[in-house]
Amino acid sequence: MFATRLGEDGAVLRPLEPWRAEEFLAHMERGREFIGRFIALPDAVVDQASSRAFLQAYADKAAADTARIYGIWTDGTLVGGVLFRTMDVAMGVAEAGCWLEPAGVGKGLVSRAARLVIDWAVEERGIHRIEWRVASANEASIAVARRLGMTRDGVLRQSYPYRGERHDVEVWSVLAPEWRANKGATPAA
């Protein structure tokens, strides 16, 4: 099993696989309300079966080379993750994303993990454009996009219906030449 250190604080990044469904569900339970403020992940993972199905769907997408999902652990506890929600290798485009429970906030974990997976996508998979789609109200995720050296491409006004309300979604991106020139912009705190 591979695990990649995210720094000197002992945080690690590793694939989130179906056999981790129970741990993933416990993580969602701890962070359900916090994580669910802007994304539907906690709505999709509500019990052991749905947790396993969610992770299996990503395992199938990884096998098809169309998506990836990774967990972030601190002190042996899953506290968040990063993913490629979509990956179109032929087109050279991938959409990255993230989530954290409160215990993982403020440590630079997402920035460090996203840097690692984006670098892999650009350098090893040949992805030319990495997108980051984020609710306009999600200031923390927008700050990550900025730290990663991404450019705000625009706003998709009221494009995301979520929990009975329509939300604006900002599209941020970084292109492979920009990524290589900056290697992920400002280091995480």
> Cα–Cα distance between 187 and 161 in angstroms, integer?
34
For the stretch 35-82, pLDDT in tens is 999 999 999 999 999 999 999 999 999 999 999 999 999 999 999 999
Residue 74: the pLDDT is: 95
Mean of the per-residue pLDDT values of the chain: 93
List, in order of start, the domains of the chain with CATH numbers. 4-182 (3.40.630.30)
Question: In what helix (H) or strand (E) does residue 62 lie, and over which residues does it extend?
Answer: helix 48-63
Residue 17: the pLDDT is: 96
Find the distance separating the first CA and the last CA of the chain, reported in whole Å.
28
What is the model's pTM?
A: 0.91
For the stretch 106-133, pLDDT in tens is 999 999 999 999 999 999 999 999 999 9
> Cα–Cα distance between 46 and 90 in angstroms, integer?
34
Residue 1: the pLDDT is: 53
Residue 184: the pLDDT is: 54
